[in-house]
A = this chain, B = another copy of it.
């Protein structure tokens, strides 16, 4: 196991009605908040009203930034930064899914930086200081509520980049599983695929961490148990709760600390959504089984067989490792399909037009990955996924 520092300070209020703690959580950080949210669904389902009530009761002054996009744009981040400066905001409250929280993070980290917020996306070492962030989660997927990462797009440049800073980790997050009851079947499936991908990106690394890998399998099994269930029974509390809590642990550090990890499928998918603005989790689900097939060889077959056995419970007594591994890959693809995800690029409106350009960019982001892939490799995977 490699040396590491574990430092996850996010306080989690988990359960129905836990938004009642929002005032207390925000008060601990400041008296003036920028409240960031998306397209306004939180106004229809009452979360906005609840949040405002508890902030008001705690004497918090509120400035609002609405309209954060599903793949959050740098223009929106810039607006938020301006607001924070103009209004002397002390704390940023994100109410929404990963996109909203990601936008809040880069806003919080750019206020005290003199240059443009896009610089922070490209190079987080330029961060001077970060306003404290509190999140209210409404979608189980990215894990942004408990991690240090943010992904921001500049659609004019077809660029989508991840950035990260220790202080981007929210100081507190409110996880109320009932807030995800209204998430559509499609977004529920995509969110589950996203967290499964996070877990697998950590799982498939060149050096195993025994404890970390067993925990990864535990979290994957939880996704498998509850993903389809949540798609079919949107108001199943237990399903929503298990997915929500698993989403946070999929990416908050426990799975990767102590072993060398560099991601593979996310860099390939980021190009898809940068060029076509598709749902991130859907892109991941489409690519994952093809990536698995592509990198399956004598050096990786054992790990894929392990996934098959420990997560998918594929024939424990079968000794042909390739057969076991392939059965696991098929289970993975079948599960995404069972959740209703379209499993080809064509179905989400992507053709070969930008394959070369996307493959080149994706390949650049794969240093140290389980298998480093050349642009040609990535293109072959895109093609297999067509």
Contact = CB atoms under 8 A, between A and B. Distances in A.
B14 A246 contact: no
A331 B209 CA distance: 24
A276 interface: no
Contacts of A13: 5
A7 interface: yes
Contacts of A1: 14-15, 177, 237-238, 241-242, 245
B214 A226 contact: no
Given A4-B14, A5-B11, A12-B7, A241 B258 contact: yes
Contacts of A237: 1
Given A215-B215, A316-B316, A15 B11 contact: no
A9 B13 CA distance: 14
A163 to B, nearest CB: 23
A357 interface: no
Interface residues of A, number: 43
B210 A238 contact: yes
A338 interface: no
A225 B246 contact: no
A153 B221 CA distance: 41
**How many identical subunits does the complex contain?**
2
A214 B210 contact: no
Nearest to A239: B210
Nearest to A210: B242
A157 interface: no
Nearest to A13: B5
Contacts of A257: 14
B14 A3 contact: yes
Contacts of A11: 5-7
Nearest to A316: B316
Contacts of A177: 1
A214 B246 CA distance: 11
B6 A12 contact: yes
Contacts of A8: 8
Contact of A218 (B6, B16, B215, B313): B215
A222 B214 contact: yes
Contacts of A320: none
A9 B6 CA distance: 10
A345 B104 CA distance: 59
A222 B245 CA distance: 22
Contacts of A17: 3
A205 to B, nearest CB: 15
A14 B219 contact: no
Contact of A16 (B3, B7, B21): B3
Given A211-B245, A215-B219, 6 more contacts: A3-B15, A3-B18, A14-B257, A210-B222, A210-B225, A211-B218
30 contacts: A1-B14, A1-B177, A1-B238, A1-B241, A1-B242, A3-B15, A3-B18, A4-B12, A4-B14, A5-B12, A5-B13, A5-B14, A6-B12, A8-B8, A9-B9, A209-B242, A210-B222, A210-B226, A210-B238, A210-B242, A211-B219, A211-B245, A214-B218, A214-B219, A214-B221, A215-B215, A215-B218, A218-B218, A245-B258, A249-B254
